[in-house]
């Protein structure tokens, strides 16, 4: 059974650019959540996808968008990057959309915006 994987590990982008981060959920999981962890902060919930549809969203602007594919893998897209978008982006998968207590996290993608 493979765990949650994320790619790339690190990424450097310039302000105004767009970025796509990828996540493969754990085998058997149909729900993916994305979190942003800024330096010195705890992870903040961005949104969750369940069976290819957005199931809930945190306090993030529309330039943060996502997709979930039929194999339950997911992408996080961020448009018009800002310096404050520099953070660790964590993906978590779970077996149910209500399973906040059963989320398994990937190692994250470190995004630096210059």
Partner 1 sequence: DQQVKQNSPSLSVQEGRISILNCDYTNSMFDYFLWYKKYPAEGPTFLISISSIKDKNEDGRFTVFLNKSAKHLSLHIVPSQPGDSAVYFCAPSSRRGGSNYKLTFGKGTLLTVNP
Q: Where along the sequence are the contacts to partner 1 (CB under 8 A)? A: 4, 31, 33, 35, 40-45, 48, 50, 55-56, 58, 90, 92, 97-108
Overall residue count recorded for the chain in this entry: 114
Tell me whether residue 3 or residue 61 sits nearer to partner 1 (CB atom). 3
Tell me whether residue 16 or residue 56 sits nearer to partner 1 (CB atom). 56
Reading the block at residue 103, the tokens are 């989320």
Taking the complex as a whole, the smallest distance from the CB of residue 20 to partner 1 amounts, in Å, to 19
Tell me whether residue 55 or residue 65 sits nearer to partner 1 (CB atom). 55
Q: Is 91 exposed, middle or buried (0-12, 13-18, 19+ CB in 10 A)?
A: buried
> If we measure between CA atoms, which residue out of 81, 27, 25, 71 comes closest to residue 48?
25
């Amino acid at each position: 059974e493979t765990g949650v994987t994320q790619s790339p590990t690190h990424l450097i982008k310039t302000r105004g650019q767009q970025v796509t981060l990828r996540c493969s959920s754990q085998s058997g999981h149909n729900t993916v959540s994305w979190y942003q962890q800024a330096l010195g902060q705890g992870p903040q919930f961005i949104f969750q996808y369940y069976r290819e549809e957005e199931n809930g969203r945190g306090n993030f602007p529309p330039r943060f968008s996502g997709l979930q594919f039929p194999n339950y893998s997911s992408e996080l897209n961020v448009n018009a990057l800002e310096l404050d978008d520099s953070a660790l982006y964590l993906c978590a998968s779970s077996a149910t959309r209500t399973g906040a207590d059963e989320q398994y996290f990937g190692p994250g993608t470190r995004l630096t915006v210059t």
